[in-house]
Amino acid sequence: MSDFLSPNLVVFAMTIAAAFLSFYLATGRVRKQAIASQTKSHSLNQYYGFYVSLWVLVPAILLALMWMFAADPMLTSAAKARMVDAYPNLPESFLNLKMAQLVNIASGYIKAPDAVMAAQAELLRAAQASADRARSLTLAAVMCNGFFYAFRRVSPELRARVLCEAFLRRLFFLSAVVAILTTIGIVASLLFEAVRFFREISLFDFFFGTHWSPMTALRPGDAAAADEFVAGSTGSFGMVPVMAGTLLVAVIAMAVAVPIGLFSAIYTSEFASWRVRNIVKPTLEVLAGVPTVVYGFFAALTAAPFFRDLGLFVGLDVSSQSALAAGGVMGIMIIPFISSLSDDVITAVPQSLRDGAYGLGSTRGETIIRVVLPAAFPGLVGAFLLAISRAIGETMIVVMAAGVAANMTINPLESVTTVTVQIVMLLTGDNEFDSVKTLSAFALGMTLFVITLLLNVAALTASRRLGQRYE
């Protein structure tokens, strides 16, 4: 069998063909019956076709999915057991390599290096072939079953349209459930690992410890030494400096983004003619599409050296990876975010309030500062909170520009580290995945998640309050 006509593809094509065929047969049947019984069928003919096709397709798809998750791993583990017999002395990691090779040989991508592998590959191929055959037969049986069940029910009285719509409704509902469940799953796995971390390190040490150096904790002896060295320290997993760094960068980012974003929003919503607005607004929004890694470049290669040189020039000692550079560039990144949201909020303030202010003799500035902005305030707060939560969760820029040393400082000229940077540091490279060090990444991730979640909830509440006020 050629590569292109792999068994999967053939089975897939046959399934689709079966679906079309059943559509055709079902519409034919209902048409004939309607003529024979001189009645008008409940739904349009096509719905009977869809109805039967769904009964053919959906069970088949479910079966194929189940097969993928259950049968394929069974095949692989059986092959692996045979490999262990064939190469009794091979270490585990090497065996895994051999397994990968074996799968490729069996699929015909590479040639077998020796007779043992060739024999193993032949066994695997045979097993796969019989599994494929079994799957095709089961699929065919399931499809026939579905077809006959549905086909026999097709008659002009059958409410096929209602049934099809019920199916669609369930499909959409299922999609929503899947989206929510995956989120819950992610959070749960995060929580699970975090709990494992907190079995080793106490909550108090983690949240209130002021010393963060997970790398030294890797070697137990050194960690103890380091702990003693930092006299009276609570351990190497104190997240306070990391959190402080995160907040410092976020505050710098907001200090850049809030004034510029808010003022440009005031300009586009209150002053710009619609023609200017139609140019300025999309332009700002395009900035939001720049990949964050590009901002990272800019921060590391342009902004950071610039601030360092500037510092040298005025006689300040600026670290080559400063919170200022990272925060400043991150601020630029969230400007469009703030300006776009704020513009929407300000535009939503009713014109009648502006008229009222003008009618009392307010100037344009007074109207904006004393009436429009206060009226928009809850929505603006919501926009800012969303922006902060973006800034806190942002990774690429800080990885490239902020630094890794967990300095406990509020000096923007020094290098700081952030939660996201630490997570990247902890989980990239060679790691055992159950050391306290890697587990601490999950604890950090959990903390970050809770903070951004709270910020987002607060933002939502704030803007909902604005909505209620002017409905």
Partner 1 sequence: MDTVVDMAKAIKIQAKDVNVFYGEKQALNNVSIDIEDRSVTAFIGPSGCGKSTFLRCFNRMNDVIPSCRVEGSIMMGDVDVNSLQTDPVLLRARIGMVFQKPNPFPKTIFENVAYGPRIHGLAQSKTELDDMVEDSLKKAGLWGEVADRLADQATGLSGGQQQRLCIARAIAVGPDVLLMDEPCSALDPIATSVIEELISELQQRFTILIVTHSMQQAARVSQKTAYFHLGTLVEYGDTKDVFTLPKNEQTEAYISGKIG
Output the smallest distance, CB 177 to partner 1, in A: 40
Paired residues of 212 in beta bridges: 237
Nearer to partner 1, 8 or 363 (CB): 363
Output the smallest distance, CB 158 to partner 1, in A: 55
Output the smallest distance, CB 216 to partner 1, in A: 55
Nearer to partner 1, 44 or 360 (CB): 360
Nearer to partner 1, 133 or 364 (CB): 364
Contact 386, 454 (CB under 8 A): no
Output the smallest distance, CB 355 to partner 1, in A: 6
Output the smallest distance, CB 375 to partner 1, in A: 5
Contact 324, 318 (CB under 8 A): yes
DSSP, collapsed to helix, strand or coil, labels residue 283 as helix
Six-digit token string for 413: 């000229």
Binding site for partner 1 (CB under 8 A): 273, 350, 352-363, 366, 370-371, 374-375, 469
Output the smallest distance, CB 229 to partner 1, in A: 57
Q: Give the whole-angstrom CA distance, residue 406 versus residue 201.
A: 18
Q: Give the whole-angstrom CA distance, residue 463 versus residue 385.
A: 10
Nearer to partner 1, 6 or 363 (CB): 363
Output the smallest distance, CB 469 to partner 1, in A: 6
Six-digit token string for 387: 């922006």
Q: Give the whole-angstrom CA distance, residue 403 versus residue 417.
A: 5
Nearer to partner 1, 259 or 374 (CB): 374
Nearer to partner 1, 285 or 366 (CB): 366
Output the smallest distance, CB 277 to partner 1, in A: 13
Nearer to partner 1, 302 or 363 (CB): 363
Nearer to partner 1, 32 or 364 (CB): 364
Q: Give the whole-angstrom CA distance, residue 120 versus residue 131.
A: 16
Output the smallest distance, CB 456 to partner 1, in A: 24
Q: Give the whole-angstrom CA distance, residue 121 versus residue 115.
A: 10
Q: Give the whole-angstrom CA distance, residue 154 versus residue 147.
A: 11
Nearer to partner 1, 274 or 433 (CB): 274
Closest CA to 341 of 374, 378, 294: 378
Output the smallest distance, CB 353 to partner 1, in A: 6
Nearer to partner 1, 164 or 466 (CB): 466
Nearer to partner 1, 93 or 352 (CB): 352
Contact 237, 213 (CB under 8 A): no
Write the CB contacts of 193 (distance below 8 Å, at least 6 apart in sequence).
Answer: 439, 442, 443
Output the smallest distance, CB 458 to partner 1, in A: 20
Q: Strand (E) positions, 122-204?
A: none
